[in-house]
Copies of this chain bind each other. A is one copy, B any other.
């Protein structure tokens, strides 16, 4: 089978590999669509770790070809999407049910072979059956959708709340839709790219701002003197981290969802956190949320199709990882 193998920073190769064998608790999946994510680029550039000689690709959807002897919940022919994260069950975090913080976390497409290949092996525990009405394209986005769902669970938006989202990439645009589906009565989005701002409006934003030309803080004071009940950072930039704290109302929550650079620091004023009784919360991947993400896919309540702006073949992938994306690009897929 054709596969994209990672040999270290800047070094990936398309190779022909044997179709892998499965264990009694695993399934073999014919990959139909796989998302390309910021993390894949980070790995390619050596900014995020991955096992050498691994097949990359952690956002995967496909069809089941074979099931292990012990697998009862799935069968040949099932349309499935895959949660890449495999927890150990034995560590401090697994014992507390905080499995995403597992000390021995494995991930399909990072520490074991992933979906940038024609076939993929996954433990049955990580495979979710999806109804016929959903396309493989949408299914390939279940992992980012699930991450956003975990973030939304932490954000604590209540119907009627006023929400601000910084960033309208794929993640910001999913979070926007989930914020609306959590009852936000107004969602303001800040995003420099005008095409993405337009998309945000189409997907339900009440208002959009360009962070480089508008005065967001001032505008928000006009709209809502108190500031936002919930602010979500979805850029991964340290400036927007600072900004997100400023935009929250007294008693408000700030969800820090973007992945900031490892070594950068920001200055915060602890007195503000006390006096305004703020809650700042990190969000890390997707524990126990993929089933609900699949139900959301099936219901059609979140528009993921509009987010897919480019599609590639596996052969094009090395160039895609190497090159620069058009900045209006929202989400790219590999289609088989």
A223-268 contacts to B (CB < 8 Å): 225-226, 238, 241, 249-251, 256-268
B91 touches A73 (CB 8 A): yes
A186 contacts partner chain B, Cβ-Cβ < 8 Å: yes
B299 touches A186 (CB 8 A): yes
A153 contacts partner chain B, Cβ-Cβ < 8 Å: yes
B283 touches A274 (CB 8 A): yes
Instruction: Among A159, A161, A185, A299, find the residue whose CB has the most chain B CB atoms closer than 10 A.
Output: A159
Query: How many copies of this chain?
Result: 4
A95 touches B277 (CB 8 A): no
With A259-B271, A273-B280 already in contact, the answer to whether A296 and B95 are too (CB < 8 A) is no
A271 to B206: give the CA distance in the assembly, Å.
Answer: 30
B159 touches A181 (CB 8 A): yes
A284 touches B274 (CB 8 A): yes
A186 touches B295 (CB 8 A): yes
A160 contact from B241, B258, B293, Cβ within 8 A:
B293
A284 contact from B152, B259, B261, B277, Cβ within 8 A:
B277
A49 contacts partner chain B, Cβ-Cβ < 8 Å: no
Which chain B residues lie closer than 8 Å to A183 at the CB level? 178, 181-182, 296, 301
The interface stretch among A30-38, A53-61, A96-104, A191-199 is: A96-104
Q: Which residue of B lies closest to A123 (CB)?
A: B89
Which chain B residues lie closer than 8 Å to A185 at the CB level? 292, 295-296, 298-299, 301
B276 touches A282 (CB 8 A): yes
CB-CB nearest 6 A-B residue pairs: A160-B292, A97-B288, A89-B125, A185-B299, A260-B270, A185-B295
Given contacts A92-B226, A280-B281, 14 further A-B contacts (CB under 8 A): A74-B90, A95-B290, A153-B158, A159-B178, A159-B296, A182-B182, A182-B183, A185-B301, A260-B274, A265-B270, A266-B267, A273-B282, A277-B281, A277-B284
> Please, could you name 5 A-B residue pairs with CB atoms under 8 Å apart, sorted by A?
A92-B249, A95-B290, A96-B291, A181-B182, A257-B274
